[in-house]
C-alpha cells in the first residue's frame, strides 16, 4: 500500500470512529425520554419522542424531494450520518419509531426501560466491539457482553424507578442483547426496544399471575 492509500485508509477509519462516537453520544442523550416518563409524566416522554419522530419524518421527506438537501446534510454533519444511510432511512428515524411504539404499547415503566435498553446497550456494544473485537468480525462477543451489562444496568433502573420485577428486567435485558446481535431488518433501533419490552411485559405478567400486555399505561 502506498503512502497516499495508507493515509486515505487511515482517514476513512478515523471518520468512521468519529461518526460512531457522535451517534452513540446521541443515543445516550436519549436517556431523557425514560427520565421524563419517570420524573415528570408519560405524556411528556411520549410528546418528546413523538416530536423527535415527526421531525425525523420531515427530514426524510425533504431528503427524498430535494436531493441537494441530502447532499448538504452529509456535508454539514459528516459525523452524524453513516455513508450507508445516504439512500435509505436514517437510524435516528428508526430510533424514534422504536421509542414511540414502546411507550405506546408498554407505558412508562416497561416502555421506558425498553428505551433505556436501546440508549445504553447499543452504544456499549459498538464501543466495546470496536475497541476489543477483531477488525472485520462484525458483531463480536465482547460487544454483546458489553451490551448485556449495559442492559442489566438499564434493567436495574427499571426496577428501581419503575418498580419492575428483577426477573422481568433480566429477561428484557437478555432479549435486547440478542436483538442487537441479530440486527433484524429494517433496523435494530426499532426491534431492540419493542421486542425487549414485549419480553419484559410477558415475564412481568407471568410473575404477577396473568399476562396483561397492551397497553400498560401508568
The pLDDT of 150-155, averaged and rounded, is 98
In the block, cell 428483577 appears at 166
Q: What is the pLDDT of residue 215?
A: 53
CB 90 within 8 A of CB 112: no
Single out the residue of 134, 133, 150 nearest to residue 142, CA to CA. 133
Q: pLDDT confidence of 13, banded at 50, 70, 90?
A: very low
Please tell me the pTM assigned to this model: 0.84
C-alpha–C-alpha distance, residues 15 and 79, integer Å: 7
Whether residue 2 is predicted with pLDDT greater than 60 in this model: the reply is no
Whether residue 151 is predicted with pLDDT greater than 70 in this model: the reply is yes
Whether residue 4 is predicted with pLDDT greater than 60 in this model: the reply is no
Sequence ranges of the domains in the chain: 3-208
Tens digit of each residue's pLDDT (9 = 90 or more) over 83-128: 666 678 888 899 999 999 999 999 999 999 999 999 999 999 988 9
Tens digit of each residue's pLDDT (9 = 90 or more) over 193-212: 999 999 999 999 888 765 44
Q: How far is CA 105 from CA 57, 66, 70, 132, 198, in A?
A: 21, 34, 33, 36, 9
In the block, cell 428501581 appears at 160
Q: What is the pLDDT of residue 116?
A: 97
Q: At what angle do helices 31-39 and 42-65 cross, to 10 degrees?
A: 150
C-alpha–C-alpha distance, residues 155 and 168, integer Å: 8
Which residue stretches of the chain are H helix? Answer: 3-29, 31-39, 42-65, 67-76, 91-116, 122-132, 141-162, 166-182, 188-208
Q: pLDDT confidence of 16, banded at 50, 70, 90?
A: low
Whether residue 8 is predicted with pLDDT greater than 90 in this model: the reply is no
Other C-beta atoms lying within 10 Å of the C-beta of residue 36: 20
Which of residues 143 and 83 earns the better pLDDT score? 143
C-alpha–C-alpha distance, residues 200 and 213, integer Å: 10
Q: What is the pLDDT of residue 9?
A: 43
C-alpha cell at 75: 456535508
- DSSP character for 185? S
The pLDDT of 17-26, averaged and rounded, is 72
Q: What is the pLDDT of residue 67?
A: 84
Q: How far is CA 175 from CA 8, 151, 172, in A?
A: 39, 10, 5
Tens digit of each residue's pLDDT (9 = 90 or more) over 34-90: 999 999 999 999 999 999 999 999 988 988 888 877 788 767 666 566 666 667 888
C-alpha cell at 104: 405506546
Amino acid at each position: 500500500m502506498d503512502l497516499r492509500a495508507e493515509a486515505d485508509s487511515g482517514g476513512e477509519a478515523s471518520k468512521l470512529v468519529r461518526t460512531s462516537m457522535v451517534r452513540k453520544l446521541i443515543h445516550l442523550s436519549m436517556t431523557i425520554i425514560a427520565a421524563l416518563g419517570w420524573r415528570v409524566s408519560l405524556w411528556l416522554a411520549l410528546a418528546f419522542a413523538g416530536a423527535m419522530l415527526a421531525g425525523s419524518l420531515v427530514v426524510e421527506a425533504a431528503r427524498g424531494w430535494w436531493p441537494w438537501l441530502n447532499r448538504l446534510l452529509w456535508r454539514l454533519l459528516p459525523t452524524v450520518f453513516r455513508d450507508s444511510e445516504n439512500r435509505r432511512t436514517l437510524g435516528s428515524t428508526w430510533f424514534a419509531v422504536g421509542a414511540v411504539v414502546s411507550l405506546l404499547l408498554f407505558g412508562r415503566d416497561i416502555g421506558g426501560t425498553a428505551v433505556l435498553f436501546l440508549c445504553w446497550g447499543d452504544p456499549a456494544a459498538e464501543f466495546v466491539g470496536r475497541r476489543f473485537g477483531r477488525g472485520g468480525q462484525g458483531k463480536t462477543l465482547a460487544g454483546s457482553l458489553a451490551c448485556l451489562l449495559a442492559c442489566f444496568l438499564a434493567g436495574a433502573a427499571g426496577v428501581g424507578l419503575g418498580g419492575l420485577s428483577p426477573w422481568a428486567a433480566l429477561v428484557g435485558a437478555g432479549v435486547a442483547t440478542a436483538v442487537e446481535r441479530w440486527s433484524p431488518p429494517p433496523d435494530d433501533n426499532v426491534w431492540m426496544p419493542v421486542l425487549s419490552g414485549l419480553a419484559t411485559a410477558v415475564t412481568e405478567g407471568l410473575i404477577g399471575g396473568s399476562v396483561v400486555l397492551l397497553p400498560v399505561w401508568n
